Structure 1
Amino acid sequence: MGCSSCSTGKDGQPRGCKNNGTCGTDGCNKLTVFDWLSNMSLPNGEKPFDCVEVRFKNSRKEFFRVPEDISLSIGDIVATQAKSGHDVGMITLAGELVRIQMKKKKVANDDQLPKVYRKATQKDIDKWQKCRDKEDEIKKRSREMAILLRLQMKISDVEFQGDGSKATFYYTADERVDFRQLIKDMAKAFGIRIEMRQIGYRQEAQRLGGIGSCGRELCCSTWLTDFRSVSTSAARYQQLSLNPQKLAGQCGKLKCCLNYELDMYMDALKDFPSQDSKLHTEKGTAFCQKTDIFKGLLWFSYKDDPSHWHTLTKDQVHEIITKNKKKEKVASLELYAVDNLEKETTLFENTVGQDSLTRFDRPKNKNRRKKNKKRRKHIKPSQKNG
């Protein structure tokens, strides 16, 4: 995430470029694409691809067609076509790699593709920067207006168009919100066109950022680009406690990291018996209480004695299930569980005598004090001065 503009200051405090991922070096944005074709020349007679990828605020990227009389490269600030007026953004990708990105994102290369007007002049950049500086104050005032109208919504971010004629307000809400009066009040107060765009709570966390329970920056704000659905079954497969406070992230939804190791757990559980499997013995019917896919162990208990668990390996469980299918009953689970008893091993051995918490409470040796007093008496005055 870091770039040359986001390094640490002289006092050790993080300096930061304060551009929220839109600094000139383009090294602190998670959607940055490495152009591995930049050093390769085109074959004879081939013209460079006439489209570029332009990034705006909040990692919003769009593709634009470049006129033949304009030469552009990565990092250039350009004025692009918008629905009304023009917008200002930075080129993040050019050349043949743009064609691959458009195909990947299913963007049609036709006449409806917007165009790049020109390279941004200093006047365009100054106006764009002036609008960016007003976003925090306008976001604060818009939140106050929403509170006065008692609207159940939260305005999380504001994005100005490059020419300053339009502002897009991103908000989150649990239910449908009638913000017609809010738009009228904001248009009258700010003197610009207003567009309201609802986003999800995951998108809000992505824009705002933060620190997760793991102590690192949120995945959605650093490197995660797609949001896959996360269900409680992912926690059940991984045998996690269904505690909403631990499973939910800052967005209030289930953590995206629950999906990271889910495939490994699913593959490991293929060899395991079902959690609903029952073992029929002469002593009674046993039910599965717990599984450990790392050790390959399962814990079963009898229906009449649910508090007493017996440890079995998955191979032993499969063996018992196979016998039950043949209408054969085993004597008891204890015969199998005896082989799985592990000897307790000491993980820590006292080698230096520092395991005693009362070692500092022992009385000091009085003989040592007497020896020190005798040594002081035998020291000559000349030795003391020397």
Structure 2
Amino acid sequence: MEKVVGIRFRKGGKIYHFDPSEYALKKGDFVMVHTEQGIGLGQVAEGPHGKDPRFHPSEVKKIDRPATTEEIRTHQNNLEVEQDAKNYCLDRIKAHQLAMSLVDVEYFFDGSKIIFYFTADGRVDFRELLKDLVRRLRTRVELRQIGIRNQAKMVGGLGNCGRPLCCATFLKNFHAVSIKMAKEQNLSLNPTKISGACGRLMCCLQYEYDTYRELKKDMPKLGKKVEIPEGRGKVIRQNVMERSVTVLMEDGREIEKQLDPPPKG
């Protein structure tokens, strides 16, 4: 069976899967790989395991080789550069009184570029800030504005479920999430219960949405008048998982009725 290893390039960042090639790697090892941004150093976050066609592409990039002691030392120095650059940028943002919040700093392994990620309510004139940063760092500098969902992805944290944020662990892309998804799953529409750390609707609302829609297709809708052996009434609640509905009878009684299993196929 083909193997893959999970590589993480930043603390708390997304895990990318690579072919370990002939190297015997274990969690915590540092490796060199080619990325879209050039050569990079990553750390093994998931030891070798079987390749799953449901989740992994047919062709997975191979790692180049284990990192040398000197390359690991360069990586540690780069982290220090990032922290120094972050502190300096925060100081200059304050000095220029810019309405922006610095989220993170990424310094390329080869020192060819440094990116400052920030959030802001609107457009920001950061030309003077950019001049300060270039003068201080003497390399290519990019200031990149990101959305609030991307901020949560980069910063990380715990969700309402108590687990690490989906966006900071395994989600590759953000998908549209609507209040309709919460309604379809009979969830509370209290914003504090269906909003994530970013303040937007939780990404996980989409996970079971299609399943709920499929299971509810043949169930009587809320508010529908129905005739049951006990008499006439109106559907006031659905329990999709239990395949049951609660009917409010004309005499005020509430009766729970079990439905037939969903049709197969």
Q: TM-score, normalised by structure 1?
A: 0.49
Taking the TM superposition and a 5 Å limit, the aligned residue runs for 1:1-386 are 20=11, 30-33=15-18, 76-77=31-32, 88-90=40-42, 100-101=59-60, 126-278=73-225, 287-293=234-240, 294-300=242-248, 308=252, 310-311=254-255, 313=257
Q: Decide which moves more: 265-274 or 290-299.
A: 290-299
Amino acid at match of 1:20: K
For structure 1, list consecutive stretches of 5 or more residues without a partner in the other structure: 1-17, 23-28, 40-73, 103-115, 317-386
Q: Distance in 2 between matches of 1:90 and 1:315?
A: 53
Q: Calculate percent identity across the aligned residue pairs.
A: 34
Is the CA contact 1:158–1:167 (under 8 Å) kept in the aligned structure 2? yes
Q: Distance in 2 between matches of 1:139 and 1:161?
A: 14
Q: Offset at 1:203?
A: 2.6
Q: How far does the alpha carbon of each residue in 1:160-200 deviate from its partner, in whole angstroms, 9 at most, with x for none?
A: 12233421111223333332222123223433331022333
Q: How far does the alpha carbon of each residue in 1:253-288 deviate from its partner, in whole angstroms, 9 at most, with x for none?
A: 2112222332332222112122353459xxxx9654
Q: How far does the alpha carbon of each residue in 1:56-94 deviate from its partner, in whole angstroms, 9 at most, with x for none?
A: xxxxxxxxxxxxxxxxxx964368896xxx75435989x
Greater RCO structure (CA 8 Å; 6+ sep): 2
Q: Distance in 2 between matches of 1:313 and 1:99?
A: 48
Amino acid at match of 1:77: M
Is the CA contact 2:30–2:67 (under 8 Å) kept in the aligned structure 1? no
Amino acid at match of 1:311: I
**Two-structure CA RMSD over aligned residues (Å):** 4.2
Q: Offset at 1:124?
A: 5.9
Q: Distance in 2 between matches of 1:122 and 1:311?
A: 71
Q: Offset at 1:251?
A: 1.5
Q: Distance in 1 between matches of 2:235 and 2:87?
A: 56
Distance 1:129 1:261, change over 3 A: same
**Structure with higher strand content:** 2
Q: Secondary structure of the residue that 1:32 maps to in structure 2?
A: strand
Q: Distance in 1 between matches of 2:121 and 2:133?
A: 22
**Structure with higher helix content:** 1
Q: Distance in 2 between matches of 1:80 and 1:101?
A: 12
Q: Decide which moves more: 227-236 or 185-194.
A: 185-194
Q: Distance in 1 between matches of 2:10 and 2:123?
A: 32
Is the CA contact 1:79–1:119 (under 8 Å) kept in the aligned structure 2? no
Structure number with greater Rg is 1
Q: TM-score, normalised by structure 2?
A: 0.68
Amino acid at match of 1:313: K
Q: Distance in 1 between matches of 2:135 and 2:183?
A: 52
Q: How far does the alpha carbon of each residue in 1:277-309 deviate from its partner, in whole angstroms, 9 at most, with x for none?
A: 3459xxxx965432222251133366xx9xx46
Distance 1:169 1:271, change over 3 A: same
Pairs aligned (count): 232
